[in-house]
């Protein structure tokens, strides 16, 4: 019995130590600057909605690089909504980036597949000959 307790104690101490290391690790300033540039370039917003903090992204500018930048800041656990979608307050809809939001049928399909919505977007727009 003592051997099991000693092993459990060591495992627990190792997990606590690992978590402390993860929490105490400083983010790389260069990576933070790169991620910030990506998010600013595509006009990402942090919105205060009734449901809480939510990331706002333009549907035509979403992609893996945007999601990676959100991960860099630890914001990848927040919900993502499309700024050109329904239910977004008008104060967040001022667009200051180049590009054109996707057609509403494409946006609706993107919202049905949030895990890789940009893949759905690119496929549908290619099929439509839109870009």
Bridge partners of residue 56, in order along the sequence: 45, 81
Model confidence pLDDT, tens digit, residues 22-67: 555 667 889 999 999 999 999 999 999 999 999 999 999 999 999 9
Extract long-range pairs of 43-51: CB within 8 Å, 24+ residues apart. 43/83, 43/95, 43/96, 43/97, 44/69, 44/70, 45/83, 45/92, 46/75, 46/78, 47/81, 47/88, 47/89, 47/92, 49/81, 49/89, 51/79
Q: Quote the pLDDT of residue 69.
A: 93
Residue-averaged pLDDT of the chain: 85
Model confidence pLDDT, tens digit, residues 76-126: 899 999 999 999 999 999 998 988 899 999 999 999 999 899 999 999 999
Q: Quote the pLDDT of residue 6.
A: 55
Domain residue spans of the chain: 29-128
């Amino acid at each position: 019995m003592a051997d099991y307790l000693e092993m459990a104690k060591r495992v627990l101490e190792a997990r606590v130590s690992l978590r402390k290391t993860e929490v105490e690790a400083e983010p790389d300033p260069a990576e933070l600057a790169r991620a910030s540039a990506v998010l600013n370039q595509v006009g990402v917003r942090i919105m205060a909605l009734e449901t809480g903090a939510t990331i706002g992204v333009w549907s035509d500018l979403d992609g893996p690089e945007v999601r990676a930048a959100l991960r860099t800041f630890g914001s990848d656990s927040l919900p993502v909504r499309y700024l050109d979608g329904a239910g977004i307050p008008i104060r967040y809809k001022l667009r200051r980036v180049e590009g054109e939001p996707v057609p509403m049928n494409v946006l609706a399909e993107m919202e049905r597949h949030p895990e890789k919505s940009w893949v759905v977007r690119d496929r549908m727009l290619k099929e439509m000959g839109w870009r």
